[in-house]
Amino acid sequence: MFRLAQELRAAGYDLVLDFHSFRETHLLTWYTRARWRLGLKRIHSPYWPFCFNLGPVLEDDTLHVSEVFLSILGFLGIDAVSNGHLLDLSSELRQEADSFLHRHQIEGGVLRIGFNLGAGSQSRTWPPEKFAELAERIAQRHNAVIIAFSGPNEELLSSEFCRRVRATRVIPAPSLALPQLAALFNRCDVLVSNDTGPMHLSAAAGVPTLGIFSVARPSHYHPLGSSSRYVSCPSIERLDSETVYQHLLHILASLPTQHSLLREPPQNL
């Protein structure tokens, strides 16, 4: 932390914006000695005014967190320009993703469903055996391939999931840098993810995303996109695979016509 603080101060920034507004980021903002320092005053977190000389911007928890962050720019008189929250993926990144699909003989027309298995904390991690149950449920009705994503130090989650799945094809994705991860997400028809950063990266890559929530506020942090959805349970271990599957069916029903034969009517939720 001290090394980061020293690097930030040495950079000589004129303006520092604290979007996180944690105590640690408050102190980092203050330590930069930037000419202008602006932070978000969160409803459920402490705010240290001595760290800033502008604002604060008050959090509105009725808005999605992306709109809250954009309100900080509004305070500075900067108008937000929306591009549908989509990332600009280069042709090189798209070609890398296509090469991955080609190496694993994932043909066009096959339903590609990504599973993001990790979350960084146990309270946010749907167990791998539940993901495996969902994969088996998908295999009963759909001609699909599952691409299993996991981050650094999450290899055990991936291996446990892959060990349990028998009825459908599973391709474990390697640990990828964020640009390559976004590009491979973009080649999925849908992603099922725990509440974590890659969930938002998937939505930003234009992928219909089903978020699985436990401790966070899904209305505030849900994945963006007109076809994205979320399911929430206070105790994530108790969330059953059938409930997640029914939410997934709602997303599948919105996919283009080439997957129309893969659909079944979802239950009302």
Query: Where do the domains of the chain lie?
Result: 2-75, 91-262
Domain 91-262: top CATH class: alpha beta
pTM: 0.86
What's the half-sphere exposure (Cβ side, CA atoms, 13 Å) at 26? 15
pLDDT at 7 over 70: yes
pLDDT at 261 over 50: no
Chain-wide mean pLDDT for the chain?
91
**What Cα–Cα distance (Å) separates residue 67 from each residue in 10, 73, 194?**
31, 10, 21
User: Which residue would you say has higher pLDDT here, 163 or 260?
Assistant: 163
The 10 Å Cβ neighbour count of residue 169 is 16
At 61-92, the pLDDT tens digits run 889 988 898 889 888 998 877 666 688 899 99
At 160-196, the pLDDT tens digits run 999 999 878 999 999 999 999 999 999 999 999 999 9
